[in-house]
Structure 1
Amino acid sequence: MMGALALFALLDTVSKTLASRHHVAVVVWGRYFAHFVITLAVFLPRYGTALFKTARPGLQIVRGLTLAGTTGAVVSAFQHMPLAEVTALVFVTPFLVSILAVSFLGEKMPLWRWIPVAVGFGGVLLIARPSGDAFNVGVVFVLLGACCYAVYQILTRKLAAVDRSATQLFYPALVGAAATCVLLPRFWVAGALDLREWLLVGSLGVLGASGHFLMILALRAAPATTLGPFTYAQLVWATLLGWLVFGDFPDRLSLIGILIIVGSGVVVAYSERYGRKA
């Protein structure tokens, strides 16, 4: 899991680097097209046409679109905000998932478990500061991305009971690649990418596919409720890489907000683990 999180932080770093020079659609296309090619090469020889079989094709397409929407929104946020702060705001997703699980999956959550959710959103306000000078459109993008990602996770839970893991991995890559290939001609500029940038674009798929592969291995070795609190280590990587690569380091209020989100998220993760045991 720690290796997967390091790769995801590197993926975000490369995405932010490319987004500073190119349209978001080009970056998202590179992310999903490379991921699609790698996923197809790995799983098609093993599963054949069974890779494409899904019990709920409509939901898989919607799920793929929500993940592509997440990537597009987050990459857009990278154009306006530091890496660590964007990553921290994405981590409101577990709070949103808790809300959606109650609303759409019928899961029950005791009253006391709403407290860390509310506190976590307080951490978001410290980073966003909607009444202060630090607020910008990047906050809107990243919170939109977090909402898309929460829907993606809810659909993943719903589809996990009917589709194999390889199919679950394949469809977001397929849908993301197809959607961005449709949009790409509108934003593509011939000769816009030099050799170094082509290599960076290719690395997006490698980093994404490798990160998801390591996460699958982690989930095979330990329950998701055990691994949940460790996911916040990605914030450490994001803060370090943001400082080393872009020279960005969160200010005091943002750091406090990040710590509040992490603390609240860990409480939500452990309460979910306790609730399932009970």
Structure 2
Amino acid sequence: MADTVTSPLPKTAAPRQSTMIGIALMCAALFCFSCLDATAKWVNRSVDPMVTVWARYMAAALLTFMVINPRTKPGVLKTRRLPLQLLRSLLLFASTICNFFALKYLQLVETQSIIFATPLLVALFAGPLLGEHIGWRRMAAVAVGFAGVLVITRPGSGTMHPAALLSVASTVAYAFYNIVTRMLASSDPVATTTVYSSIAGIAIVTPVLPWLWTTPPSPLTWFLLATTGFYGAFGHWLLIHAHARAPAAILSPFIYSQIIWMLVLGYVLFGDWPDAWTFVGAGIVIASGLYLLYRERVKHRKPERPA
């Protein structure tokens, strides 16, 4: 029997395989983040949302310090820009607490559709804060995206729940959190930034926890509280590895696939089904975000050299 000769793979096969793995990791990370919000909404029915926030930070910090700590990474707490690290941590905490309180009253799809406006805000504020100014096309996309948020919340119609304002506040805080993260990327390593983010929530909530404490009513609730930190930490770990495998320009559009997970989890766990206006508004926000990504790729596309 003749030996089987295996032909070498094309040069493009390995990069393509790496990209596909990156996309799969990205989708898995988004599933973890969706499970985090769904779990928080579930446990918030029996405990104070501040307890959920504390449990999310505590569990995530324990998982983080198992890998990143002064012993495994000496000098991990040293930062060149301490005020920015503290500001970034506070912004993430503000975004988390507003989102968890909003989840107590809103559907998963509603909160996520509003949070999808984050890239729009980043594009809007990156000009004055980072010097990354946008043209009229992207400015128009930002305006259309905000119109989509108004369609979702429908202020003045009598149907807007006040908790929608918390979701908007969470989105604003998260947008500035992303901007500050980009400011820190050139000065501090990722490990340092990660550790500061884990510490902040514990340091803020723990002193007031005795006055807010609600004892979880069942072992299942205890377990779900613990999993919030796991979903957050593991999701970010998957996200980092996804970006190591594939370019951000390819991965970014898949962020909007999270709406599918939110829709499924909301319907299965809580029997929620968004109304038509929520779908319309979410579609407008997603379309605006995708157009911003497209314009960003066009802006940075290098012209082809003539043969």
Unaligned runs of at least 5 residues, structure 1: none
- Per the alignment, residue 5 of structure 1 pairs with 30
Are residues 176 and 73 of structure 1, via their aligned partners in 2, closer, same or farther at CA, if it must alter by over 3 Å?
same
The CA distance in 1 between the partners of 2:32 and 2:194, in whole Å, is: 17
Per-residue deviation, residues 32-58 of structure 1 (Å, max 9, x unmatched): 111111101111277433221211112
- Per the alignment, residue 211 of structure 2 pairs with 186
State the 1:218 CA deviation.
0.8
- Per the alignment, residue 61 of structure 1 pairs with 86
The residue type paired with residue 182 of structure 1 is P
Matched, 1:31 2:89: no
Structure whose CA Rg is larger: 2
The CA distance in 1 between the partners of 2:210 and 2:293, in whole Å, is: 42
Count of aligned pairs between the two proteins: 277
After superposition, where does 1:177-216 map in structure 2 within 5 Å? 177-189=202-214, 191-216=215-240
State the 1:155 CA deviation.
0.5
Per-residue deviation, residues 2-49 of structure 1 (Å, max 9, x unmatched): 000000000000001111222111010011111111101111277433
- Structure 2 residue matching 1:172: 3-state secondary structure: helix
In the alignment, is the contact (CA less than 8 A) between 1:226 and 1:273 conserved in 2?
no
Percent of aligned pairs sharing the same letter: 36
Among 247, 261, 271, the alignment partner of 1:247 is: 271
The CA distance in 2 between the partners of 1:72 and 1:270, in whole Å, is: 32
Among 280, 285, 306, the alignment partner of 1:256 is: 280
- Per the alignment, residue 165 of structure 1 pairs with 190
- Per the alignment, residue 16 of structure 1 pairs with 41
Per-residue deviation, residues 198-257 of structure 1 (Å, max 9, x unmatched): 111110111100000000001111222221111011111111111111111111111111
Which TM-score applies when normalising by structure 1?
A: 0.96
After superposition, where does 1:1-278 map in structure 2 within 5 Å? 1-44=26-69, 47-189=72-214, 191-277=215-301
The residue type paired with residue 127 of structure 1 is I
Q: What is the alpha-carbon root mean square deviation over aligned residues?
A: 1.4
Are residues 169 and 193 of structure 1, via their aligned partners in 2, closer, same or farther at CA, if it must alter by over 3 Å?
farther
State the 1:270 CA deviation.
2.1
In the alignment, is the contact (CA less than 8 A) between 1:29 and 1:180 conserved in 2?
yes
The residue type paired with residue 274 of structure 2 is P
- Structure 1 residue matching 2:157: 3-state secondary structure: coil
The residue type paired with residue 102 of structure 2 is A
The residue type paired with residue 222 of structure 1 is A
The structure carrying a bigger helix percent of its residues is: 1
Per-residue deviation, residues 146-194 of structure 1 (Å, max 9, x unmatched): 01001100000000111111122221111112112122122013x4443
- Per the alignment, residue 17 of structure 2 pairs with none
